[in-house]
Structure 1
Amino acid sequence: MKKQIALMSVLSPLAAAAQNDSIMYGNDKMNVVIGVITIIFIGIGAYLFSLDRKIKKLEDEK
């Protein structure tokens, strides 16, 4: 049951995105979406990098 729900939650946005693809490309919204996702991933990466450095400092103190 859990696998089915997970599969449906992964595939349902893909079907919706396929229907709206031409609208997104036509209004240049796709570039904005890609830009926002890129910024979010860069932010998450920077946060994880800084968190890793802080954890290393704490481990070295002990």
Structure 2
Amino acid sequence: MKAFLLFLFSLTAFTASAQASDIEMADQFRADGKIYVVIAVISVVLIGLFAYLFRLESKVSALEKRNK
């Protein structure tokens, strides 16, 4: 239990220190309008990943039905 609390408190401190710093790269992306490209790429990757997982789950379900 003590190890968990130590991990939790250290994670909280790390998160607080990470939020305090300015991120110049993100500000530059926003200024150039490239942040929308980054968001679009991340969205396409996530949609592709979810589509793959959905297709894989349907194939597994079909195999499970066939084995019964």
* TM-score, normalisation: structure 1: 0.69
Q: Of residues 2, 19, 22 in structure 1, which corresponds to 2:23?
A: 19
Deviating above 4 A after TM superposition, structure 1's stretches of 4 or more consecutive aligned residues are none
Unaligned residue ranges in structure 2 (runs of 5+): 1-13
Larger radius of gyration: 2
* 2:5 corresponding residue in structure 1: none
* 2:66 corresponding residue in structure 1: 61
Unaligned residue ranges in structure 1 (runs of 5+): 1-7
Q: Kindly, what percent of the aligned residue pairs are identical?
A: 33
Q: Distance in 1 between the 2:47 and 2:65 partners?
A: 27
Q: When the two structures are aligned, how many residues end up with a matched partner?
A: 59
In angstroms, what is the RMSD of aligned CA positions? 2.4
* TM-score, normalisation: structure 2: 0.64
User: Which AA in structure 1 matches 2:37?
Assistant: V
